[in-house]
Amino acid sequence: MDHDHGIDKKVTRQHLGATKDAHASHGGLSVYLAVFASLCVLTLLSFLVGNSQVLREKAPQVMWAAMMAVSCAKAMLVMLFFMHLKWEANWKYVLTVPASMMSLFLVLMLVPDVGRRTRTYSDDRWLHAAEPRETTVEEHDADHQHPPAKTGEGH
C-alpha cells in the first residue's frame, strides 16, 4: 500500500557549514591574533596593578577599580571576538538587556538588606552575633604571609 498521498519526497539540502567567505567577514587570523595580544597586555597590566605595593598601601580602591576595569575589558574582548557576538544579529540585545536589568535590580534591592541587617537585631541576637573586627594593613598583610617551604627533608 502506497501512502505517498501525492507528496514529493525529494529533499533538497543546502550546505550549512562555514565557507571561506563567511570566515573572511570575521576579519581573519590577524584579528584573532590582535585580540590575543591585547589579552596578554591586559593580563600583564592586571598583574602589575595587583602587585603594586604603592597602590596597595596608598590607594587600594584605585587598585581594585583598575583591576575590575581590566577584567571587564578582557571579558568583553573574549565575548565579542571568541564567542562571535560582534558578528551576531541584533537579537543578542533582546536577550542581554532584560537579563542585565533584572540582575542590576536584584543587586540594588539586596544591598540595603545586607547593609542594614543589624538594625533590627534583638538583644538575644546580638549576644550570638559575631563581633566586628577592624584590622590594620599590617595585620592584614601578616595574615597572608606563609612560612618558607622546607626543602629536601621528610619527603
How do the pLDDT tens digits run along the chain, 155 residues long?
Answer: 555 555 555 545 454 444 455 555 667 888 899 999 999 999 999 999 999 999 989 999 999 999 999 999 999 999 888 888 788 777 777 888 899 999 999 999 998 887 787 888 888 888 888 877 777 777 777 777 766 656 655 54
Residue 39 CA to residue 70 CA, distance in Å, equals: 10
Condensed to tens digits (0 to 9), the pLDDT of residues 40-85 reads: 999 999 999 999 999 989 999 999 999 999 999 999 999 888 888 7
Give pTM, 2 decimals: 0.50
For residue 31, give the C-alpha cell.
Answer: 584579528
In sequence order, which residues have a C-beta less than 8 Å from that of residue 92 and are 6 or more positions away? 85
